[in-house]
């Protein structure tokens, strides 16, 4: 059993005693404050030069040296780096474990603002339970990870003073043309408003594994992080860490529960078993006709999943293997290779394995995009002795069509608002270098229904639109029970049609049905188990990797520098939690020449309409206050035939220019979308533009100005 007594001395630095009331930084640490230095990542020589210059004028000031400052930060925050030398193919595989979760857990409630922020989960759970008790199944709203049944079950054992977290790990290549793989893990605290998760000050690094080689046994590296968490869960006979709660003005016990773990591999494996690879329709064999072994009409499609009891039985079978041959047989039969390291945590404080592993929408979007493009570009591998590429009527995105399509996608960039962050690049030129997940989403699920319509045969295009309809539903941060069932229905239709259209029940085409196709049948059920998938993706980790990559200053040591950057960021974030005066974001200011338009928005005339903004202006009202208005040009209604043909994924509207102008309050604008010129087909109306949303209207909540909690 993991206990804190078995941890190293450095790991005990977070302490078991509460900090007491909110404290100020010691006087000698004033230079740590951003209000004095503005940055916490000033290089050692720069700090030393400035210190020496000040001491020349004020020798009695007693400014601490760089070394003393670093030690003081560790003492105040409790965040330090622990190095594990793990044998690997490279001597440079020296893992760095950061003790950043316990200090954050202890110090977050030490201020009234921090305590109010961390108690969000308790307020949200009460709101969800009340809503679930009064709403019918169609009107149930899933708008947070705490909406999921598995998370609610975990929270029954937690109090409002406890914390919950997700462990997220992935690999990244720091330089495009240089072997520089680095594995990074972070903790995501789930108890704060999800609209603020993306902020850098909530970045809690857990582990850095420098390359250049991939670690052979990842458990050897993650062990210390989970050992530390396990010890904290069992602290004080399971009552938790004593923490000062500034909102309650008393010391409270606080435990840490683990909701789940995320990685780039799909966590849902062997969900309903008994299938050939990920296919659902049995391949046609030489002895007889096709036989269906999967009922797509069943009401239980996608609902079957291994329970914790099933998992325990399978692991027991695996462990009981008498020799290597028996192990290999049991491994194949169970789909498991070893017990999960998460199984060693306190069961009452953990969503049990395998329920803690959910679908990662970020990687799913990438995998679905790559799969469909390999079909349409005719690059899918095949058996030359049994298959003929010339018979692929879906492979139409080739030769000059591919080149022209790439130019069309590149030209679409000019119509994307800046808030869309990463518009897709020309795939004909940049496809091999890889798209980011946001680029894939805008390309496949945003531009796709309009751009692919001109070259795909109708049956393939309509099948693709069913996928788009379902994916646009599940990517939302707020989804109703009715929308969950609707998306599930479209995914079922899409998967069945996909296998009939592409795989065609051929033995030599089984590999067309990749796991990303099968996993679509489980996405919607996962929403009911662990909340909307948008809240438990690896986008947060990708943001952290990007921030670390941008902060690298020493190209000569690219594998060591991220460790120091992550350590410094973790310490800075803990300081901001501990001493609010260091956090500049608590006093947000609007950009230059901007005007606060207030909060809230309504639909236009009771319905959603699409407009082009001509210009904004301010008008004094009767109270001599300024009200914001906007002159808009209204688009026409969406083409009804295209809307129906595309399963409501292609909203193509006529642009009216100056012929349909109107003035409305700015508050009536509910979202910013991209209007793209629709590539015409024979018989189409002229001057049609189609709508591309970022990933659902709810995205506006986190792309614009967000007030601090």
Shared-domain flag, residues 105 and 41: yes
Shared-domain flag, residues 72 and 165: yes
Nearest-angstrom CA–CA distance, 161 and 179: 45
Nearest-angstrom CA–CA distance, 602 and 597: 14
- For residues 690-700, one letter each, b for 16 or more C-beta atoms within 10 angstroms of the residue's C-beta and e for the rest, the string is bbbbbbbbbbb
Share of the chain above pLDDT 90, in %: 34
Nearest-angstrom CA–CA distance, 516 and 523: 11
The sign of the dihedral angle between the CA atoms of 335, 338, 340, 345 is: positive
Indicate whether 9 pLDDT > 80. no
350-401 pLDDT tens trace: 999 989 888 888 889 999 999 999 999 999 999 888 898 889 999 999 999 9
Shared-domain flag, residues 87 and 201: yes
Shared-domain flag, residues 618 and 582: no
Is 351 inside a domain boundary? no
**Cβ atoms of 597 and 628 closer than 8 Å:** yes
The range of the structural domain enclosing residue 79 comes to 4-119+161-264+538-586
493-535 pLDDT tens trace: 999 999 999 999 888 999 999 989 999 999 999 999 999 988 8
Indicate whether 279 pLDDT > 90. no
Tell if the pTM clears 0.75, that is, is over it.
Answer: yes
Shared-domain flag, residues 699 and 558: no
Asked which of 491-500, 519-528, 537-546, 657-666 is least confident by mean pLDDT, the reply is 537-546
297-309 pLDDT tens trace: 888 888 888 889 9
**Cβ atoms of 621 and 598 closer than 8 Å:** no
The residue behind tokens 């849902």 is 268
Task: Say which DSSP state 608 is in.
Answer: -
Nearest-angstrom CA–CA distance, 194 and 164: 13
Q: Final residue of a domain: which of 571, 586, 601?
A: 586
Shared-domain flag, residues 542 and 581: yes
Is 360 inside a domain boundary? no
**Beta carbons within 8 Å of 702's beta carbon, 6+ residues apart:** 195, 198
Is 130 inside a domain boundary? no
Q: Residue 698's pLDDT is what?
A: 40
Reported as type and span, the H/E element at residue 95 is strand 94-98
Indicate whether 90 pLDDT > 70. no
Query: Average model confidence (pLDDT) for the chain?
Result: 81
Is 282 inside a domain boundary? no
Indicate whether 275 pLDDT > 60. no
199-216 pLDDT tens trace: 777 778 888 887 777 777
Shared-domain flag, residues 228 and 110: yes
- Burial of 178 from C-beta contacts in 10 A (0-12 / 13-18 / 19+): exposed
Shared-domain flag, residues 77 and 171: yes
Is 595 inside a domain boundary? no
Shared-domain flag, residues 552 and 688: no
The residue behind tokens 């606080």 is 254
**Cβ atoms of 636 and 688 closer than 8 Å:** no
Is the bond into 354 cis (omega within 30 degrees of 0)?
A: yes
Shared-domain flag, residues 658 and 618: yes
Indicate whether 707 pLDDT > 60. no
Shared-domain flag, residues 235 and 104: yes
Shared-domain flag, residues 61 and 202: yes
The residue behind tokens 């004020």 is 58
pLDDT greater at residue 497 or residue 134: 497
Q: Residue 268's pLDDT is what?
A: 38
590-636 pLDDT tens trace: 555 555 554 333 344 556 788 888 888 999 988 888 889 989 899 99
Is 462 inside a domain boundary? no
Number of domains the chain is built from? 2
* Mean pLDDT across 11-40: 49
**DSSP letters along 410-425, please?**
HHGGGGS-GGG-----
Indicate whether 46 pLDDT > 60. yes
Q: How far apart are the first and last CA of the chain?
A: 38
Task: Please give the structure tokens belonging to residue 354.
Answer: 């395998």
Most confident of 107-111, 255-259, 494-498: 494-498
* Mean pLDDT across 284-288: 59
Is 405 inside a domain boundary? no
Strands (E), 428-573: 479-480
Is 194 inside a domain boundary? yes
């Amino acid at each position: 059993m993991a206990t804190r007594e078995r941890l190293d001395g450095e790991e005990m630095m977070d302490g078991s005693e509460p900090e007491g009331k909110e404290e100020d930084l010691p006087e000698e640490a004033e230079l740590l404050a951003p209000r004095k230095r503005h940055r916490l990542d000033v290089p050692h020589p720069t700090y030393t030069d400035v210190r020496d210059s000040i001491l020349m004028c004020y020798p009695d000031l007693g400014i601490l040296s760089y070394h003393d400052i670093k030690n003081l930060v560790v003492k105040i925050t409790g965040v330090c780096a622990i190095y594990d030398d793990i044998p690997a193919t490279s001597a440079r595989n020296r893992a760095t474990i950061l003790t950043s979760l316990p200090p954050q857990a202890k110090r977050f409630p030490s201020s009234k603002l921090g305590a109010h922020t961390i108690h969000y989960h308790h307020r949200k759970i009460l709101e969800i339970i009340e809503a679930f008790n009064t709403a019918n199944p169609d009107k149930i709203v899933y708008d947070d990870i705490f909406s999921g049944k598995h998370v609610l079950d975990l929270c029954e054992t937690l109090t409002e003073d406890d914390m919950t977290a997700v462990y997220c790990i992935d690999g990244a290549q720091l330089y495009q043309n240089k072997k520089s793989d680095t594995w990074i893990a972070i903790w995501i605290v789930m108890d704060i408003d999800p609209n603020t998760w993306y902020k850098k000050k909530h970045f809690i690094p857990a582990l850095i594994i420098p390359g250049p080689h991939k670690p052979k046994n990842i458990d050897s590296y993650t062990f210390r992080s989970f050992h530390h968490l396990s010890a904290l869960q069992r602290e004080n006979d399971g009552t938790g860490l004593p923490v000062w709660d500034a909102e309650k003005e008393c010391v409270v016990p606080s435990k840490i529960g683990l909701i789940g773990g995320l990685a780039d591999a799909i966590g849902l494996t062997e969900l309903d078993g008994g299938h050939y690879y990920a296919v659902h329709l049995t391949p046609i064999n030489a002895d007889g006709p096709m036989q269906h072994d999967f009922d797509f009409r069943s009401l239980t499609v996608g609902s079957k999943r291994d329970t914790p009891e099933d998992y325990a039985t399978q692991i027991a079978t695996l462990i009981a293997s008498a020799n290597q041959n028996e192990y290999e047989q049991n491994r194949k039969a169970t789909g498991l290779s070893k017990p999960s390291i998460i199984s060693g945590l306190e069961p009452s404080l953990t969503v049990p394995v395998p329920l803690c592993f959910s679908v990662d929408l970020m990687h799913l979007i990438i995998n679905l995009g790559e799969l469909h493009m390999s079909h349409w570009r005719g690059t899918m591998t095949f058996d030359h002795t049994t298959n003929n590429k010339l018979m692929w009527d879906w492979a139409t995105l080739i030769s000059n069509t591919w080149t022209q399509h790439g130019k069309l996608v590149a030209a679409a960039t000019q119509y994307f608002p800046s808030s869309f962050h990463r518009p897709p690049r020309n795939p004909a030129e940049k496809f091999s270098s890889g798209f980011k997940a946001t680029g894939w989403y805008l390309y496949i699920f945003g531009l796709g229904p309009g751009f692919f319509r001109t070259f795909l045969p109708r049956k393939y295009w309509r099948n693709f639109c069913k996928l788009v309809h379902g994916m646009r539903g599940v990517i939302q941060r707020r989804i109703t029970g009715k929308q969950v069932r609707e998306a599930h229905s479209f995914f079922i239709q899409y998967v069945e049609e996909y296998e009939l259209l592409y795989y065609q029940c051929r033995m030599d085409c089984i590999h067309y049905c990749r796991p990303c196709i099968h996993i679509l049948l489980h996405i919607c059920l996962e929403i009911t188990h662990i909340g909307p998938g948008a809240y438990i993706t690896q986008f947060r980790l990708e943001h952290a990797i990007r921030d670390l990559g941008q902060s690298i200053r020493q190209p000569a040591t690219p594998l060591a520098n991220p460790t120091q950057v992550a350590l410094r960021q973790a310490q800075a974030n803990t300081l901001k939690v501990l001493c609010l005066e260091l956090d500049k974001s608590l006093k947000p200011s609007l950009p230059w020449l901007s005007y606060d338009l207030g909060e809230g928005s309504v639909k236009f005339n009771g319905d959603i309409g699409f407009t082009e903004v001509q210009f904004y202006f301010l008008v004094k009202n009767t109270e001599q206050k300024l009200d914001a208005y906007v002159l808009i040009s209204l688009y026409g209604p969406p083409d009804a035939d295209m809307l129906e043909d595309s399963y409501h994924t292609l909203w193509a509207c006529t642009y009216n220019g100056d012929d349909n102008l109107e003035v409305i309050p700015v508050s009536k604008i509910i979202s910013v979308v991209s209007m793209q010129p629709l590539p015409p087909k024979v018989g189409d109306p002229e001057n049609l533009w189609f709508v591309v949303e970022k990933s659902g209207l709810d995205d506006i909540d986190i792309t614009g100005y967000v007030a601090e909690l």
